[in-house]
Amino acid sequence: MENSKVTELIKSFNQHEVKAFTAYISSAYFNSDKRLRNTFDRILGFNNEKKAWSRKDLHKELFPQKKFSDQKIRYLLTDLCRHIEYFLSLRLLDANKLIYRNICARALSMRDCEKAYDFMHDSILSSQHYRNAAFYFHLYDSAENHLNYSGKKQSRKLKFDYSETLTNIEIFYLAKKLQLFCEVINLKNVLTGEYELHLLDEIKNLSAKLPFSEIPVIQIYYHILLTLTEPGKEKHLEQLEALLKNHANLFPPPELSDMYQYVKNYCVKKINQGDAAYQRRLFEIYKTMLANRPLMYHDYLSQFEFKNIVSISLRLDEKVWCKSFISKYINYLKPEERKNALIYNSAYLNFISGDFKGAIRKLREVEFTDVVYQLDARVILLKSYYELDDIETFFYHASAFRLFLLRNRRISEYQKTINRNLIKFLTKIVRAGTRQSKLLKVKKEISAEKNVADLKWLEEKVEILM
């Protein structure tokens, strides 16, 4: 397919954007070349038909009676790309009122439209905006523009107040530096290369002092940084949670979600270290996030986040809450993900509730395409056959599970190891029956290994038989 750039741009449009761009490209104000509307329509048709096309194909559609001209098509495609990029820039500008007002204020100041400029400048300062790092950068930009404009209007002998300009750029710098520190430290195990955290101590010291200790965006990233660098001090997490709860409305949903991700990661690490109390804490964090409408209505809920919420609620025996959550929030997932997510998580709820046959029936309804679902579904089936004492099916499934782990290259070695060990030890428990000496041996082997999927459940099964 030729001209992948224009194809990529048009494929990125949703239905509303297709209509909006059609109106844009049809407007004589924005576009005087009527051929561009036809070019857009034809490429859109190729995309909708999922049909590969070439410049010759496009030329034949647009100019059926004329000899092929590669230059003519290239010029049309270049102009169409330029218009699409301009259209997308306008949409982004329209969506970000603060950027728009800053640009508008600068344009008015350049024309010396004093009343209009004063009104626009006041709107920048008084309007409601998110208070993230970008906000303070745009305030700095506005303050600097105002300083320059005032300089043109007043005598050079007058003293100008630089405090607003300096304060805003300092807040932006500190907030952004803290945010990047957090990202680098959080990802240090997966990032390649060494990243020096210049001025780390100085930034931390400044963040704890006035006036920066009263700026929510600085304090949130400062406390995220403390949870990463001083994980043993639980007070940092408590202060972070309080800050997020009190200032959630100051941040755009994607950034607020990222902030909460640090809190969740902290709890997961503590749970993995054996601190079961953090399971309840993590569950309450999820409930707080679910109650935040901007977070929930901004975008689709991740199917894996959905799965994690089901899992943690069932670990805490919150079966009624879990059933209600699945029913209420399944439609927050992408449409193409809902069927698999509903079947898997409903099956897991059945299993935890002791309805092992119900879990098996549900998991047989669909062939999961995602490897995570495939893996976890096989674990539930293995455990269900064990609980039902269906020995013949258990051994058949255990054999198929081993083969699945052997052949699937998308599963990490760690996941292969812990699931192979689950199969191995659960098979040994089945074969041991009620013979105490063999069960004791299996119990010791499990204790020595530790790298086992669903370790706690497996240990409970051994204890029940002893």
**pLDDT tens readout for residues 428-440:** 999 988 889 888 8
Cβ neighbors of 435 (< 8 A, separation 6 or more) are: none
Domain assignment present for 312:
no
Query: Would you say 429 and 439 are in contact if contact means Cβ atoms under 8 Å apart?
Result: yes
Among 342, 346, 248, which residue's Cα sits nearest to residue 291?
248
- Residues of the chain predicted below pLDDT 50: 1, 157
Look-up: residue for tokens 């659960």? Answer: 426
Domain count, the chain: 2
Tokens encoding 163: 């405090």
CA–CA separation, 328 vs 42, rounded Å? Answer: 41
Nearest Cα to 441, choosing from 420, 462, 421?
462
Residues ≥6 apart with Cβ < 8 Å to 255 = 130, 132
List, for residues 365-382, the tens digit of each pLDDT value: 877 878 888 999 999 999
Give residue for tokens 């069927």.
339
Q: Is residue 118 domain-resident?
A: no
Q: What is the pLDDT of residue 336?
A: 87
Residue at a domain's end among 45, 79, 95: 95
CA distance 383 to 350: 12
Please give the C-alpha separations between residue 302 and each of 7, 102, 136, 269, 319, in angstroms, as whole numbers: 27, 35, 31, 20, 21
Query: Among 65, 95, 125, where does a domain finish?
Result: 95
- The pLDDT, as a whole number, for residue 160 is 67
- Residues 6 or more apart whose CB falls under 8 angstroms from that of 461 comprise 386, 426, 429
The pLDDT assigned to 274 comes to 74
Q: If we measure between CA atoms, which residue out of 272, 256, 338, 345 comes closest to residue 308? A: 345
407 in any annotated domain: yes
Report DSSP state, residue 249. Answer: G
Measure Cα distances from 328 to 241, 289, 293, 311, 333 in Å.
26, 15, 14, 16, 11
Strand runs labelled E in 27-143? none
Domain enclosing residue 434, as ranges = 367-466
Rounded-to-integer distance, Cα 460 and Cα 185, Å: 37
In 3D, which of 41, 9, 8 has the Cα closest to residue 23?
Answer: 41
Domain membership of residue 76 (yes or no) is yes
Domain boundary pick from 95, 118, 138: 95
For residue 48, being part of any structural domain is answered with yes
Whole-model pTM: value is 0.77
DSSP-based helix, strand, coil % in the chain, nearest 5: 75, 0, 25
